[in-house]
Amino acid sequence: MESVKEHIDLQGLPQHVAIIMDGNGRWAKRKGNIRLFGHRQALRAVREVIEAGVELSLGFVTLYTFSTENWKRPKAEVLGLMELLVNTIRKETPLLMENNIRLRAIGNIDDLPRRPHRELMKSMELTRNNTGLTLTLALSYGGRSDILSAVNRIVEKAVDGKLEPGQSTEEDLRAEMSTHYLPDPELLIRTSGEFRVSNFLLWELAYAEIYIAEKLWPDFSREDLYQAILDYQRRERRFGMISEQIKTL
C-alpha cells in the first residue's frame, strides 16, 4: 500500500509540529481497562511520531505530556504517570542518542517528583549537543502560567532599571518564556476529535494551522502524522493578509 508520505512536499514541511496527545483514558476504557493502561499504550504512538519526524528531518516536535491541570487527577493515576515518565526516559534515551535527537522540556519541571526530575535532567544533559530533531516535552506546563511568569520577569527588569517601563516589545516577552528557543509551531495536531487548545502554547499558536484527528492518541500512527502534514501543505497561510498579497511574496 502506498504511503501518504509519497505525496508530501519535502521542501514545504512545517519546521515545528506541536501535538496534544489526547484520548489515552478513553482508549483504555473502551478496552475495558484502567486509564494508566492507555497511557502505557500511548508510548507506541510517541515512538512512531518521533521516528517519522526524524525520517522527514523535522526541526522541532513538542508533545503536551502533562499539564498543570493534570495534577488534579486521581493520585494513583498521577503517581503511575510519574513512574511511567521515569521508565520511559530511562529506556528511550539511548534511542535519542542513536537518532541525534535533543531532548528539552518546558513547564514547571521543578514541580516533578525527585526521580522523574532527575531522569529528565540527566537525559537532557546527555542529548544537549545532538543536532537533529529537537523533542520538547511540555511537563507540568500551562500556557497562561508561562505567559504570567514572563510578564513578572519583565516587570522585575523594569523595576531594576534594565527595561524602560511601558516600552517592552513582543520580543522582550518571548525571550522570557520557557519556549524562547522554539520557533512558533506551524502545525498543531490534536487527537480524539476535541476542538480545544487546552492551555497549550497559547502565545505561540497564534498562527498555527490546526489539524484535528478523530483517532484516540494510542491509535495514532506515522501515517496519521503524514496525513496531517499533507493537509497542512494544502492550506493557504495568509497571516492576516489576502490571497493576492500572499502570491506576490
Q: Which domains does the chain have, with CATH numbers?
A: 4-142+184-248 (3.40.1180.10)
Quote the pLDDT of residue 249: 57
Quote the pLDDT of residue 167: 87
pLDDT at 248 over 80: no
Report, as an integer, the average pLDDT of 68-74.
95
Residue 238: band (very low, low, confident or very high) from pLDDT cuts 50, 70, 90: low
Q: Over the stretch 190-230, which tens digit does the pLDDT of each residue have?
A: 999 999 999 999 999 999 999 999 999 999 999 999 999 99
Give me the active site residues, please: 22, 70
Residue 165: band (very low, low, confident or very high) from pLDDT cuts 50, 70, 90: confident
Quote the pLDDT of residue 245: 52
Q: Is the pTM of this model over 0.85?
A: yes
pLDDT at 96 over 90: yes
**Rounded to whole angstroms, how far apart are CA atoms 85 and 241?**
43
Residue reference for cell 534511542: 95
Quote the pLDDT of residue 147: 97
Quote the pLDDT of residue 240: 58
